[in-house]
């Protein structure tokens, strides 16, 4: 029996009471059903993310003949690599995907968020998820990559299908859907890359096509395609779910909403708290490349260990009043963007995106119009529907 009641819809909706109970008894425990160690507290999870003998070791999904494109995009992904391959690829991508490029996007992101909010205000009602939370990050990443407007509706369904493979018990239908989406996404991006080689523009794909390091090394086509897919899947999925989870949390804590609306300068601090309070990614898995001794257990070579990020981010030994939403929380070492070698490359973009998203939403007088609907998943934690009324 698994330590985590993954079949319980209430746990998938709100895992934090179970996390608190398990974390109070142990910081690290073996889960027989999942076949891995689970780290519950902040200290152990942080060590799991940072220890160089705990690697992100990709093993092709079997049977490999059925998952050729899904395996291809993971085999060449930064997220699934360790040094020296990870070092080389991250260096190349970082040359093109700079903080300066990200910050230059802020005015455009604010413009996009403002337009979506204006539509919500004019309609007098909205569903936060399709009308804003899902729409804004897709528009941002599509513009960053230079995806034609007519094709942008393809991106989120592809991403949604692929990330379902990360759940502990993905169904046959979900696995097949992930492979189809991966194949279509890879094929589409190969066409985009081929076009940018002959007709470059002022977009990230063109920059990645051009980039070379000091040794003359450059991205392979598979690495380039995979990097674009990772930016969408990992980047926009996180932003979508922080916007959804965070807005719902603020609506359920109206005093926090009022504090933010009264002092928009708090928004950057509040964004970090919203990431901590209801984490969009609940589990990040590693594999021991050597025997690793953690504070309360030993992970043998070849064994898997997962940092439970949502549990770590509610650890009362690190966060005062850890189960309380506090938009003024300044001391906030959350693990929402990971840590160590695999700290999220897209964190600067996500922060700009989230800051502008909440700055725009806070201008609206919003109330819940109906109960929200949660995603029926554990690893990717979020919502599918948040019906809202927008007062005149």
Helix (H) or strand (E) holding 127: strand 125-127
Report phi then psi at 308, rounded to 5. Answer: -90, 95
* Cβ 44 vs Cβ 27: under 8 Å: yes
Helix (H) or strand (E) holding 388: strand 387-390
From 228, 234, 357, 359, active-site residue? 234
From 27, 45, 159, 239, active-site residue? 239
- In this structure, how many other beta carbons lie within 10 angstroms of the beta carbon of residue 375? 18
Contacts 24+ apart (CB under 8 A), 26-32: 26/296, 27/295, 27/296, 28/294, 28/295, 28/296, 28/297, 28/305, 29/3, 29/297, 30/297, 31/2, 31/3, 31/4, 32/1, 32/2
234 is catalytic: yes
Q: Which residues contact 59 (CB under 8 A, 6 or more apart)?
A: none
From 80, 82, 179, 237, active-site residue? 237
133 is catalytic: no
From 322, 344, 350, 359, active-site residue? 344
111 is catalytic: no
Query: How far apart (Å, rounded) are the C-alpha atoms in residues 80 and 64?
Result: 17
For the chain, give percent helix, strand, coil, nearest 5.
Answer: 55, 10, 35
DSSP codes joined into one string, 199-242:
S--SSHHHHHHH---TTS----HHHHHHHHHHIIIIIIHHHHHH
Q: Which residues are catalytic?
A: 234, 237, 239, 344, 353
């Amino acid at each position: 029996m698994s330590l985590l009641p993954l079949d319980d819809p209430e746990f998938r909706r709100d895992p934090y009471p179970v996390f608190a109970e398990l974390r109070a008894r142990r910081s690290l425990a073996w889960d027989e059903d999942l076949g891995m160690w689970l780290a519950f507290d902040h200290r152990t999870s942080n060590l799991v993310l940072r220890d160089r003998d705990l690697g992100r070791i990709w093993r092709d999904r079997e049977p490999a003949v059925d998952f050729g494109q899904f395996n291809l995009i993971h085999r060449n992904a930064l997220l699934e690599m360790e040094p020296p391959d990870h070092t080389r690829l991250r260096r190349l991508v970082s040359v093109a995907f700079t903080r300066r490029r990200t910050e230059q996007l802020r005015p455009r992101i604010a413009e996009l968020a403002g337009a979506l909010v204006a539509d919500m205000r004019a309609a007098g009602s909205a569903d936060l998820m399709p009308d804003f939370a899902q729409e804004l990050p897709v528009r941002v990443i599509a513009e960053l990559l230079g995806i034609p407007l007519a094709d942008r509706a393809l991106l989120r369904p592809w991403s949604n299908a692929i990330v379902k493979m990360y759940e502990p018990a993905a169904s046959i239908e979900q696995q097949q859907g992930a492979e189809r989406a991966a194949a279509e996404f890879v094929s589409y991006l190969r066409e985009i890359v081929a076009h940018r080689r002959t007709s470059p523009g002022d977009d990230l794909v063109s920059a990645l096509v051009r980039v070379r390091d000091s040794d003359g090394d450059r991205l392979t086509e598979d690495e380039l395609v995979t990097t674009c897919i990772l930016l969408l899947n990992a980047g926009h999925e996180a932003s979508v779910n922080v916007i959804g989870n965070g807005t719902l949390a603020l609506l359920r804590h109206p005093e926090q909403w009022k504090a933010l609306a009264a002092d928009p300068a708090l928004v950057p601090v509040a964004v970090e708290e919203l990431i901590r309070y209801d984490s969009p990614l609940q589990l990040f898995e590693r594999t021991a490349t050597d025997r690793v001794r953690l504070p309360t257990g030993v992970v043998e070579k070849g064994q898997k260990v997962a940092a439970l990020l949502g549990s770590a981010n509610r650890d009362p030994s690190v966060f005062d009043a850890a189960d309380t939403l506090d938009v003024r929380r300044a001391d906030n070492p959350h693990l929402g963007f990971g840590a160590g070698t695999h700290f999220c490359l897209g964190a600067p973009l996500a922060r700009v995106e989230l800051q502008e998203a909440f700055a725009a939403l806070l201008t609206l007088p919003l109330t819940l119009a109906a109960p929200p609907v949660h995603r029926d998943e554990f690893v990717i934690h979020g919502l599918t529907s948040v019906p809202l009324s927008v007062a005149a």
